[in-house]
Amino acid sequence: MERNLKIVLVTLIVILLTLISFVGIYKKDSILYKNIIADYLLSSNLEGKRVIELTIDTSTNEVKYDKDGNVVEDSENETTSTDTTEENTDEETDTTENTEDEYTIVNEPVNPEEKLTVENYKITKKIIETRLESMNVDNFIVRLNEENGKIIVEIPENGRTDEIVSNLNSVGDFEIVDQEDNTVLLNENDIKEVLVGYNTTESGTGVYLNIQFNKEGTSKLEEITNKYISSTDEEGNTVEKNVTLKMEGEELFSTYFSETIVNGQLPLTFGSATTDVSTIQQYLQNASSVAILLNSGKMPLKYNIESQEFVKPIINEKILNISIYVLIGLVILSFIYLIIKYKKYGALTVIGSVAVIDLLLLAIRYTNVYLSIESAIAFIILIILNTILLKNILKNINKKSEREDIYKAIKNGLLESMDIIIVLLIISIVFTFIKWAAINTVGILMFWGIICILISHLIFTRTLLLNSNK
């Protein structure tokens, strides 16, 4: 009687779990009932992606040269978009002379012809890929047309996509120049690494960028910090020799150095110290973007974002439904196999297997697992593992089995399956630590699936089997 009661109790618990997992728990939220169970998360190959088209910038810059051939810095360098098929088809540059001021204005292409090589296209593609990896984009495709340098980038569409897109086509150039004559003193080639840091003081938290220069850059920095200082001349006036920091051709600020830097580390402050959390987060985000650009290297070519579009997945609802039905079909087939081969005991293990499904579906929703095409692999592997485990347990149980025999059969069945379980656990743990979404999904799903299989069968199936015989 007590045994039957336990079987009924376990069955009822499994039914309850099934209802929670498949139907949900509804709670009144103002006038509507809302399901408080978390929803499934879908990855970009099931939800859609942003497709960005990058094309080589064909515009020109007006550059002024004096009679000695030196560049004359204007307040603005005019950038004109010229259609290269219209004017100047034979010449790349357009020259006008102004004899009154004795300077020459030359229209120089932003990307000179000699730089438009396959090698530079490939370097640009590599830099974009590095930036996407640094920004923890877990699933992307970068395509390159080697004939015209066009690059198509496909990334998941989510809350970070706009921020990611804004970092894609930045050239990533960095210069420290003499404020007076614009001589380049240091550039991005002298940088070893850029890190983002913050420190908290009484006035608030300040975010800074720590630029670590390489060996050559360190000695250059030491020279610069010795030379560009504030001093007093013979008449007692303060003379400042300043440098200007530039990024993407734009001046960030000018400064002198109050002390010599010998360790090759240049901290740059972002904004001012503040206690406002959202401002700090914004500064951190901006600083991280700059760090990513500088760490990934300077692009040899300048690209424009020609277009960007959100595209729905190829895996439409119809294909998704078919996949779900196929998985359900496989589950049902495994259940039918167990019931036909092992009769009553097979049926009891099916109840335990239903609990596995319930627990796994809940675990998926509460552990931020993004479901994708690859998730189907994990589900099929788990169905196979579950069937193998139950087969190993049930093959030693029959009508004549006593409680002690069933207990041994469960233990031996588990031990017999342990090698497969451990191999799958190794795979799942390794895959879980990989950022790439396709691999990561399989790892996390398999990991939780194995845990759910073990928990469910050790609690529910074991109780059912042990209480099944008179």
- Where on the chain is the footprint of other proteins (CB under 8 A)? 45, 53, 129, 141-146, 150, 152, 307, 309-314, 316, 373-374, 376-377, 380-381, 384-385, 388, 416, 419-420, 422-424, 426-427, 430-431, 434, 436, 438-439, 442
Q: Which residues are bridge partners to 144 per DSSP?
A: 151
Choice between 127 and 194, CB closer to other proteins: 127
- Nearest to other proteins of 277, 314 (CB atom): 314
Q: How far is the CB of 452 from other proteins (least distance, A)?
A: 18
Kindly state the smallest distance separating residue 325's Cβ from other proteins, in Å: 17
In what side-by-side order are the strands of the sheet with 184-187?
184-187, 174-178, 243-247, 250-255
Nearer to other proteins, 247 or 383 (CB): 383
Closest C-alpha to 26, from 18, 17, 35: 35
Q: Using H for helix, E for strand and C for coil, what is the string for 54-118?
A: EEECCCEEEEEEECCCCEECCCCCCEECCCCCCCCCCCCCCEEEECCCCEEEEEEECCCHHHCCH
| Residues 110, 116, 120: CA angle, nearest 5 degrees | 105
Q: Which is nearer to other proteins, 225 or 428 (CB)?
A: 428
**Closest alpha carbon to 344 in 393, 410, 384, 394:** 394
In angstroms, what is the minimal distance from the CB of 83 to other proteins?
A: 16
Q: What are phi and psi of 304, to 5 degrees?
A: -110, 150
Residues 6+ apart with CB under 8 A from 438: 139, 372, 373, 374
Which residue(s) pair with 315 in the sheet?
none
Least distance to other proteins from the beta carbon of 377, Å?
4
CA gap 186, 266 in Å, rounded: 12
Any idea which residue has 């099916």 for tokens? 350
Q: Which residue lies nearer to other proteins by CB, 165 or 388?
A: 388
Question: Which residue, 15 or 384, has its beta carbon nearer to other proteins?
Answer: 384
| Cβ 58 to other proteins shortest distance, Å | 16
Instruction: Express the helix, strand and coil content of the chain in percent, nearest 5 each.
Output: 45, 25, 30
User: CB of residue 343 vs other proteins: minimum separation in angstroms?
Assistant: 25
Please, what is the minimum distance in Å from the beta carbon of residue 134 to other proteins? 15
CB of 44 to other proteins, least distance (A): 12
- DSSP 8-state assignment for residue 413: H
Q: Tell me the Ramachandran region of residue 432: left when phi exceeds 0, alpha when psi lies from -120 to 50, beta otherwise.
A: alpha
Residue placing its CB nearer to other proteins in the complex, 311 or 336: 311
| Shortest distance, position 92 Cβ to other proteins, whole Å | 25
Give the shortest CB-394-to-other proteins separation in angstroms.
17
- Beta carbon nearer to other proteins, 90 or 317: 317
The nearest distance, CB 181 to other proteins, in angstroms, is 44
Nearer to other proteins, 200 or 316 (CB): 316
Q: Residue 186 or residue 424: which is nearer to other proteins going by CB?
A: 424
d(CA 180, CA 249): 16
Measure the CA–CA gap between 391 and 21, rounded to whole angstroms: 26
Q: Decide if 49 contacts 313 (C-beta within 8 A).
A: yes
Q: Distance between CA atoms of 443 and 450, rounded to whole angstroms? A: 11
Do 297 and 122 touch, CB atoms closer than 8 A? no
In the bound state with other proteins, the residue whose beta carbon lies nearer, of 5 and 418, is: 418
Query: CB-wise, 378 or 465, nearer to other proteins?
Result: 378
Q: Please write down the HEC assignment for all residues of 220-240.
A: HHHHHHHHCCEEECCCCCEEE
Q: Report residue 129 as tokens.
A: 């890929």
Residues contacting 392, CB < 8 A, separation 6+: 412, 413, 414, 416, 417
Shortest CB 210 distance to other proteins, Å: 29
Instruction: Decide: 388 and 349 in contact? Cβ < 8 Å.
Output: no
